[in-house]
């Protein structure tokens, strides 16, 4: 072991900061990031060959697992054998910092710890260096998950033939997804991403209409628009038809600054529509002939319709079914002579907004979507025409689009989850750094106030500092809830002491004086096998909810007992209760009945409880209170493998 003065680092910093050893130690160990101070060791040629641990803080111990008593005064090659062979060249990088005074910042994956760190190293004096370690594992996991979601989104777009785009009106930068390039028959190398270049890819006969639709939406301040138009694939000259939808995004002042949209290749759909229109044209011409030949043509039509894969029905002016093809009968049963609105949708009379009603009234075709009696979604095409007795009837053709609807929803969910994952990964880095500084300033302010004589001014300042600290803790809870909701959950199962967890939790978070507290943990329920961090988060959120539900005070009861192979924990309050309309959505992410909050607390509780193989339920009465019951397995068995929860 290399012997060095243990106070070399602290004396230097005490002198610079003008604080006592006790004050420094408390501040040093309250840091949220890991901190380590070292002396570089060089050989006879002046080359860095090792470095020695002079001081580390508690955060460094927690992040790396290296304890102070095990490393202080020791060389890193002794603490971490083989580190001199690590491709990251820790000794070389740190040696350059210590000998040249040039700071360095980098990210590295610590394989033995299975963690990612962001490391900032600098030289306080020649031959020495300090390193600050920030755990960015969650951010890296979130970035990896975002990349996976982007790959899933890309695959979903390919399956649904739907691409997405975004136009920044400030920079005139246009971004396309890969599927849009495929639809337009282009590659990124062939396309200059601007609005003008996009117009060049549109069929010349449609170009003016597309430009007018988009420009009009901007000039008139419309939130959205949609249009069908043709594109000409540059590589082959093939003409395709697309459906384009756009939403305009505004800044805080209400000015439109960005447009986002989707493009769907509907060429095959248009071909199918044209085929249906041709069928209708043939029908319209032939049914007017009051001859046997017309009757034969109708029978031939029925034969064609009978073999179509679409769901086809003919309706008369009374909405009664006069013909239904095979797939229609197989899906919806025998319907001849029945009114469609009674038979399919269980209505007493047709709605004036019904597209079929409009088709009959206006003698014009209609295309619409609806949900059938079987719960599936359908594309409906209504084509009015004259029957042989000069009465208007409806040719109604339906296509099952349930899977397409599911795909569209999956696309939206993928975008939302990607955004949440990215936010969750970055929020800790962007918010917790300033929180660390605020926490340190609060501590120093309290320390400086401590020796001051008691006075009203001192009391007011301390109360203000406490309020700031409470809000810092609340912000930290928001960050924790967001990360716990979005990140994969992998419980670390061990033996826990439930009573100790509850006592420490209540000691750390003082309850308001108007709350009457009851805590009772049966002896049989005290020891269990679970994840202590998860249990702590679950109870913290439940207790916090109960306190917020009792703004004028009340009673909070935390009870635990054992039932067979289950640990049962109840948290009950005498607060305002849960509104009846909110009960079904209580565990839904982003749903909250409070004026303040993000609606993630209960969603986090549910995810963590289920990750532990348990369940969470509640009972509530208005103005009488709410009782949450958490049931957890007391030991790991064959059915409870505690899988990683995404």
- The predicted-structure confidence for 436-467, as pLDDT tens digits, reads as follows 778 778 878 878 888 888 888 878 888 888 88
Q: What is the distance, to the nearest Å, from the Cα of residue 157 to the centroid of all Cα atoms in its chain?
A: 19
Whether the predicted pLDDT of 471 surpasses 70: yes
Res 7 pLDDT > 60: no
Q: Which CATH class is domain 488-633?
A: alpha beta
Whether the pLDDT of residue 20 is over 60: the answer is no
Q: DSSP character for 585?
A: G
pLDDT value at 398 more than 90:
no
Which tens digits make up the pLDDT trace of 365-375? 666 677 776 77
Q: What is the average pLDDT across 583-592?
A: 70
Instruction: Please answer whether residues 488 and 645 qualify as being in contact, where contact means their C-beta atoms are separated by less than 8 angstroms.
Output: yes
The pLDDT assigned to 17 comes to 47
Per-residue tokens: 447: 């320390």
123-181 tens-digit pLDDT: 999 999 999 988 888 887 877 776 666 565 555 545 545 778 888 888 888 888 888 88
The string of pLDDT tens digits covering residues 548-584 is 899 999 999 999 999 988 999 999 999 999 888 878 8
To the question of pTM greater than 0.85 for the whole model, the response is no
Select the more confidently predicted residue: 311 or 89.
89
pLDDT at 419 over 90: no
Q: What is the pLDDT of residue 575?
A: 93
pLDDT on residue 388 = 45
Q: What's the rounded Cα separation, in Å, for the pair 39 and 395?
A: 87
pLDDT in tens, 272-298: 888 888 887 877 777 676 556 667 777
Q: What is the pLDDT of residue 359?
A: 60
pLDDT at 376 over 60: yes
Average pLDDT over the chain reads: 78
Contact status, residue 243 vs residue 258, Cβ threshold 8 Å: no
- Distance, in Å, from the CA atom of 629 to the CA atom of 542, rounded to the nearest integer, reads 10
Question: Tokens 């004096």 label which residue?
Answer: 125
For the residues 615-619, what does the mean pLDDT come to?
93
Quick check: 24 pLDDT over 70?
Answer: no
Q: What is the spatial order of strands in the sheet that 366-371 belongs to?
A: 321-324, 311-315, 392-400, 377-386, 366-371
**Cβ–Cβ < 8 Å for 1, 41:** no
pLDDT surpasses 50 at 639: no
Question: 82-96, 279-293, 318-332, 582-596 — which one is most confidently predicted on average?
Answer: 82-96
SS3 at position 287:
coil
The model's pLDDT over 525-549, given as tens digits with 9 standing for 90+, comes to: 999 899 998 999 899 989 988 998 9
Q: Is the pLDDT of residue 387 over 70?
A: no
Does position 11 have pLDDT exceeding 80, yes or no?
Answer: no
Give burial (CB, 10 Å; 0-12/13-18/19+) of 74: middle
3-state class (DSSP) for residue 515: strand
pLDDT at 361: 64
> Which H/E stretch holds residue 36?
strand 34-42
Whether the predicted pLDDT of 517 surpasses 90: yes
pLDDT given at position 297: 73
As annotated, the residues of the chain forming the CATH 3.30.565.10 domain(s) are: 488-633
Cβ(418)–Cβ(150) below 8 Å: yes
Query: Under CATH, domain 287-400 is a member of which superfamily?
Result: PAS domain (3.30.450.20)
Q: What is the DSSP string of 229-263?
A: EEEE-TTT--EEEEEEEEEEEE-TTS-EEEEEEEE
For 292-322, the pLDDT digits (tens) are: 666 777 778 778 878 877 778 787 777 788 8
Fold of the CATH domain 141-265 = Beta-Lactamase (3.30.450)
Return the closest-CA partner of residue 77 out of 56, 51, 98, 112.
51
Query: What residues does CATH 3.30.450.20 cover in the chain?
Result: 8-135, 141-265, 287-400
Looking at per-residue pLDDT, the higher value among 209 and 589 belongs to: 209
Q: How many CA atoms lie within 13 A of 511 on its CB side?
A: 27
Q: What is the pLDDT of residues 133-148, one digit of tens each?
A: 888 888 878 777 766 6
Tokens of 523: 């002896």
The Cα 292–Cα 205 span in angstroms is 45
pLDDT value for 399: 62
Enter the tokens of residue 616: 């969470």
What pLDDT is stored for residue 72 in this prediction? Answer: 93
Is the CATH number 3.30.450.20 carried by domain 8-135? yes
C-alpha gyration radius of the chain: 35
Q: Rounded to whole angstroms, how far apart are CA atoms 235 and 31?
A: 60
Percent of the chain with pLDDT over 90: 21
């Amino acid at each position: 072991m290399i012997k060095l003065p243990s106070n070399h680092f602290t004396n230097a910093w005490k002198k610079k900061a003008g604080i006592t050893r006790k004050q420094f130690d408390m501040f040093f160990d309250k840091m949220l990031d890991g901190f380590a101070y070292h002396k570089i060791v060089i050989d006879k040629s002046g080359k860095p060959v090792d470095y020695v641990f002079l001081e580390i803080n508690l955060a460094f111990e927690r992040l790396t697992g290296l304890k102070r008593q095990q490393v202080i005064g020791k060389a890193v090659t002794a603490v971490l054998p083989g580190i001199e062979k690590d491709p990251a060249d820790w000794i070389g990088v740190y040696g350059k910092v210590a000998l040249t005074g040039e700071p360095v910042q980098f990210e590295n994956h610590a394989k033995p710890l299975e963690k990612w760190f962001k490391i900032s190293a600098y030289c306080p004096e020649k031959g020495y260096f300090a390193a600050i370690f920030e755990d960015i594992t969650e951010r890296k996991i979130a970035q990896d998950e975002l990349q996976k979601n982007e790959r899933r989104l890309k695959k979903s777009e390919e399956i649904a033939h739907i691409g997405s785009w975004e136009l920044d009106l400030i920079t005139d930068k246009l971004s396309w997804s890969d599927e849009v390039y495929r639809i337009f028959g282009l590659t990124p190398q062939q396309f200059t991403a601007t609005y003008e270049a996009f117009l060049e890819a549109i069929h010349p006969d449609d170009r003016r209409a597309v430009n007018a639709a988009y420009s009009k939406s901007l000039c008139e301040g419309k939130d959205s628009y949609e249009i069908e138009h043709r594109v000409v694939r540059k590589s082959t000259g093939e003409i395709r038809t697309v459906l384009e939808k756009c939403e305009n995004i505004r800044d805080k002042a209400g000015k439109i600054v960005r447009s986002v949209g989707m493009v769907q290749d509907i060429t095959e759909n248009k071909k199918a529509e044209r085929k249906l229109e041709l069928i209708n044209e043939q029908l319209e011409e032939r049914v007017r002939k009051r001859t046997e030949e017309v009757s034969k043509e109708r029978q031939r039509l029925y034969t064609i319709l009978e073999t179509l894969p679409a769901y086809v029905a003919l309706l008369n002016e009374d909405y009664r079914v006069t013909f239904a093809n095979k797939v229609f009968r197989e899906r919806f049963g025998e319907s001849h002579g029945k009114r469609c609105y009674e038979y399919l949708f269980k209505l007493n009379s047709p709605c004036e907004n019904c597209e079929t009603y409009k088709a009959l009234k206006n003698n014009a075709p209609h295309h619409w979507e609806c949900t059938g009696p079987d719960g599936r979604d359908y594309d409906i095409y209504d084509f009015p025409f004259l029957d042989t007795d000069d009465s208007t009837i409806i040719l109604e053709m339906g296509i099952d689009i349930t899977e397409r609807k599911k795909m569209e929803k999956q696309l939206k969910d993928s975008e939302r989850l990607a955004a949440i994952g990215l936010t969750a990964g970055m929020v800790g880095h962007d918010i917790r750094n300033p929180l660390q500084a605020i926490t340190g300033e609060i501590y120093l302010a309290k320390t400086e106030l401590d020796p001051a004589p008691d006075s009203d001014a001192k009391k007011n300042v301390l109360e203000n500092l406490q309020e700031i600290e409470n809000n810092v803790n609340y912000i930290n809870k928001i960050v924790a809830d967001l990360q716990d909701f979005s990140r994969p959950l992998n419980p670390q199962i061990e033996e826990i002491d439930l009573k100790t967890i509850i006592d420490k939790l209540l000691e750390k978070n003082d309850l308001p004086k108007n709350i009457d507290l009851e805590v009772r943990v049966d002896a049989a329920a005290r020891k269990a096998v679970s994840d202590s961090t998860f249990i702590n988060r679950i109870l913290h959120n439940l207790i916090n909810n109960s306190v917020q539900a009792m703004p004028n005070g009340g009673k909070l009861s935390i009870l635990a007992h054992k039932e067979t192979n289950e640990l049962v924990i109840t948290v009950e309050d005498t607060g305002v209760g849960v509104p009846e309309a909110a009960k079904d959505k209580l565990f839904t992410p982003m749903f909250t009945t409070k004026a303040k909050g993000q609606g993630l607390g209960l969603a986090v509780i549910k995810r963590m409880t289920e990750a532990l193989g348990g369940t969470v339920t509640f009972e509530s009465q208005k103005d009488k209170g709410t009782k949450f019951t958490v049931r957890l397995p007391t030991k790991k068995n064959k059915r409870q493998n505690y899988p990683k929860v995404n």
